[in-house]
């Protein structure tokens, strides 16, 4: 069975929309529709109920989802095992958002290598949607993210309490002085909702960015202000490149680790223990 068709099916099932699935898979909506039609023809059963509101799984689709995930997982496991270099016996692929690699992800890799030298490690970068897709299809086994999106076969644990703080590129900024220079960075629906409620005067901005922590680089080269993760932006504050807006509200934005539930329990236990060591230090100093 074509793995591409199965991955497309899982993406449509997870998003509830052919349009959303096409955007995440970087293909046209007609391509997604054609793939689903081919899969339904092969199985001899409709997998989705279509409506103006979106799509939902049929009873046959719900049954098939479990098997589709299993087939994809088995395929990705085969690819991983074949790719393990000589001298290593096991592998683990970790994904993380851009801002989580420098202070957390790289330290985690270092610690895992110390306690499990026979484990071949791979690292992937991605925004939440991409990481979720990689987790679902088995490309990665775990991910560090601010916005976990659960799917069948995944579980999430909050590991660090974090906040989004407002920073500006000029000295001594205040919430009152940022209005005309404020850039809205999209940190997800919950942030946007709370941002609109608590900062209604900054709701209609001239520029919105969906670039995550890369927004820090944008700010340092311009006369602008925005919200960024406190831990990530601390180095910019220490260097005097950015400055805290002390009277602006803070927004909770915890860090999560998401695991595939079928990860080898020995590998997961080793990785989780090292992650606990690292995050306990970070939580203690927060």
List pLDDT tens digits, range 84-105.
777 777 899 999 999 899 889 9
Categorize the per-residue pLDDT at 74 as very low, low, confident or very high, splitting at 50, 70 and 90.
confident
Quote the pLDDT of residue 46: 94
Quote the pLDDT of residue 283: 57
Quote the pLDDT of residue 105: 95
By DSSP bridging, strand 243-244 and strand 48-51 are unpaired
Quote the pLDDT of residue 284: 46
Q: Which two tokens stand for residue 151?
A: 């799917």
**Which tens digit of pLDDT belongs to each residue from 208-260?**
998 888 999 999 999 999 999 999 999 999 999 999 999 999 999 999 999 99
Strand partners, 120: 91
Q: What structural domains does the chain harbor?
A: 3-80 (1.10.10.10), 84-161+254-284 (3.40.190.10), 163-252 (3.40.190.10)
Quote the pLDDT of residue 286: 45
Quote the pLDDT of residue 281: 66
DSSP 182: B
| Helices and strands: H and E segment counts in the chain | 11, 13
Categorize the per-residue pLDDT at 69 as very low, low, confident or very high, splitting at 50, 70 and 90.
confident
**Cα distance between residue 36 and residue 96, in whole Å:** 30
For residue 239, give every residue at least 6 positions away whose Cβ sits within 8 Å of its Cβ, in sequence order, or none. Answer: none
- The answer to pTM > 0.75 is no
Quote the pLDDT of residue 282: 63
Give which of 257, 280, 277, 281 is closest to 110, Cα–Cα.
277
Query: Worst-scoring range by mean pLDDT, 22-26, 159-163, 181-185?
Result: 22-26
């Amino acid at each position: 069975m074509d793995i591409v068709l199965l991955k497309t099916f899982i993406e449509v099932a997870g998003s509830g929309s052919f349009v959303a699935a096409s955007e995440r898979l970087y293909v046209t909506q007609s391509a997604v529709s054609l793939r689903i039609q081919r899969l339904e023809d092969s199985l001899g059963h409709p997998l989705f109920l279509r409506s103006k509101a979106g799509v939902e799984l049929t009873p046959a689709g719900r049954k098939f989802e479990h098997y589709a995930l299993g087939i994809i997982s088995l395929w990705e496991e085969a690819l991983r095992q074949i790719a393990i270099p000589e001298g290593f016996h096991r592998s683990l692929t970790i994904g993380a958002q851009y801002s989580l690699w420098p202070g957390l992800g790289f330290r985690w890799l270092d610690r895992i290598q110390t306690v499990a030298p026979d484990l071949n490690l791979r690292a992937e970068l991605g925004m939440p949607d991409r990481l979720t897709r990689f987790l679902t299809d088995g490309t990665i086994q775990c991910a560090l993210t601010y916005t976990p999106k659960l799917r069948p076969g995944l579980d999430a644990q909050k590991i660090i309490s974090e906040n989004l703080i407002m920073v500006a590129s000029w000295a001594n900024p205040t919430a009152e002085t940022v209005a005309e220079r404020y850039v809205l960075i999209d940190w997800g629906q919950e942030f946007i909702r709370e941002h609109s409620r608590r900062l209604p005067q900054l709701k209609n901005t001239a520029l919105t960015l969906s670039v995550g922590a890369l927004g820090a680089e944008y700010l340092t080269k311009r006369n602008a202000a925005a919200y960024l993760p406190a831990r990530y932006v601390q180095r910019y504050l220490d260097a005097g490149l950015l400055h805290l807006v002390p009277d602006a509200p803070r927004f909770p934005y915890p860090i999560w680790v998401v695991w595939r539930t079928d990860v080898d329990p020995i590998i997961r236990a080793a990785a989780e223990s090292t992650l606990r060591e690292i995050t306990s230090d970070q939580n203690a100093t927060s």
